[in-house]
Structure 1
Amino acid sequence: MPIELVWGTGAGRTELGAFDAALSDANVHNYNLVELSSIVPEGARIERVGALDPGRWATGDLVAVVLASRTSSTPGERIAAGLGWELAAEGGVFMENDAPTAEACERRLDANLADAKRIREWDWTGERGTKVVDHVVDSGAGGAVVAAVFHPISGGHRADDR
């Protein structure tokens, strides 16, 4: 099962507008995102794609994601969002974080992944990764998102298949 990692940043007049713009940058803005907790199913693989292909699914489909995001409306402020993951024979875990800088976000991801491994007696394979994006707010508001896209929960057909 592929889990596609997408990310984006954006700006808007409001923080919600900036969040939507960041989702647009990752091309997940036209789906109803259903947030999951952070468990990776056994046998899944993580694929870094940046943004989903246009028209991947029908507008409004329910799509399962693990989502990290941060927004701000403070001009000049730096924001960061990121996902980290570690895989095991039994599956794996995602950790989502946000922070004022990419470096701080990476540190939080490292600490949270270490904690997640400590409480699970799994056969960790050593396959580990992180993706962090950052953005400096100009005027208005800014947003940053990273999402692990699992699959559509409903529909799941391409928009042109209707």
Structure 2
Amino acid sequence: MTTIHVAGGIGRAPTAMAAYDAALADANLHNYNLVAVSSVIPADATIDVVDTAPNLGPAGNRLTVVEGKSVAGPDDDAETVATAIAWATGPGPGLFYEASGTDPEAVEREARRGLDAGCELREWEITDRDVLVSSVAADSEGYTAAVVLAAYGDSEPIC
């Protein structure tokens, strides 16, 4: 059985990439090569929402994730940076949906609406739904990032 760890993070730095890296560090997912997948949760997986992800293997390994990400800079005129991942599970497979923006409540609503639409496309029994939102006040002088990641199992060697 695979455990999918869901964690959020925030970061501030002088560049967009450095702010994103700092947000990944806040979630303890900064030392992996992230490989993004779309949205399907395997039937045998369990979801574990954590403040920070546990050690999932050596630095430099490949880690499969679903990722919500939002980054704003000093010229973006954003007061808040927000992202979310919503998920639906049941006795079979499930789904993740992500959304990003500048209003945490709107981001959560969008993630939930997308999830509802995705569930409507499938004939799966869905019994549980949840969402994790990560948001932070934007830095008017630098870059600000918010992330939520669903990390699938342990990392694997990249080569």
After TM superposition, the structure 1 = structure 2 runs for residues 88-99 of structure 1, keeping only pairs within 5 Å, are 88-99=90-101
CA distance in 2, matches of 1:56, 1:94: 20
Q: 1:84 aligns with which of 83, 86, 96?
A: 86
Give how far 1:49 is off. Answer: 1.1
Give how far 1:137 is off. Answer: 1.6
CA distance in 2, matches of 1:28, 1:83: 16
CA distance in 1, matches of 2:133, 2:78: 19
Residue 115 (1) aligns with residue 117 (2): yes
User: How many pairs are equivalent?
Assistant: 154
Residue 143 (1) aligns with residue 145 (2): yes
CA distance in 2, matches of 1:62, 1:143: 22
Per-residue CA distance 1:32-82 (angstroms, 9 max, x = gap): 0110110000021110112123x5410100000000000000366211011
CA RMSD of aligned residues (A): 1.6
Relative distance call for 1:29 and 1:116 in structure 2 (3 A) is same
Say whether the 8 Å CA contact 2:81–2:146 is kept in structure 1: yes
Aligned counterpart, 1:36: 37
CA distance in 1, matches of 2:51, 2:155: 21
Give how far 1:122 is off. Answer: 1.0
CA distance in 1, matches of 2:123, 2:78: 44
Give how far 1:113 is off. Answer: 1.0
Aligned counterpart, 2:20: 19
Aligned counterpart, 1:61: 61
Say whether the 8 Å CA contact 2:57–2:155 is kept in structure 1: no
Q: Aligned with 1:109: secondary structure?
A: helix
Relative distance call for 1:147 and 1:13 in structure 2 (3 A) is same
**TM-score (normalised: structure 2):** 0.91
Say whether the 8 Å CA contact 1:72–1:141 is kept in structure 2: yes
Give how far 1:2 is off. Answer: 1.2
Say whether the 8 Å CA contact 1:81–1:132 is kept in structure 2: yes
Letter aligned with residue 61 of structure 1: N
Gaps of 5+ in 1: 157-162
Q: Aligned with 1:124: secondary structure?
A: coil
Give aligned-pair identity as a percent.
Answer: 32
Give how far 1:99 is off. Answer: 1.4
Letter aligned with residue 59 of structure 1: A
Give how far 1:88 is off. Answer: 2.5
Letter aligned with residue 52 of structure 1: A
Structure holding more strand per residue? 1
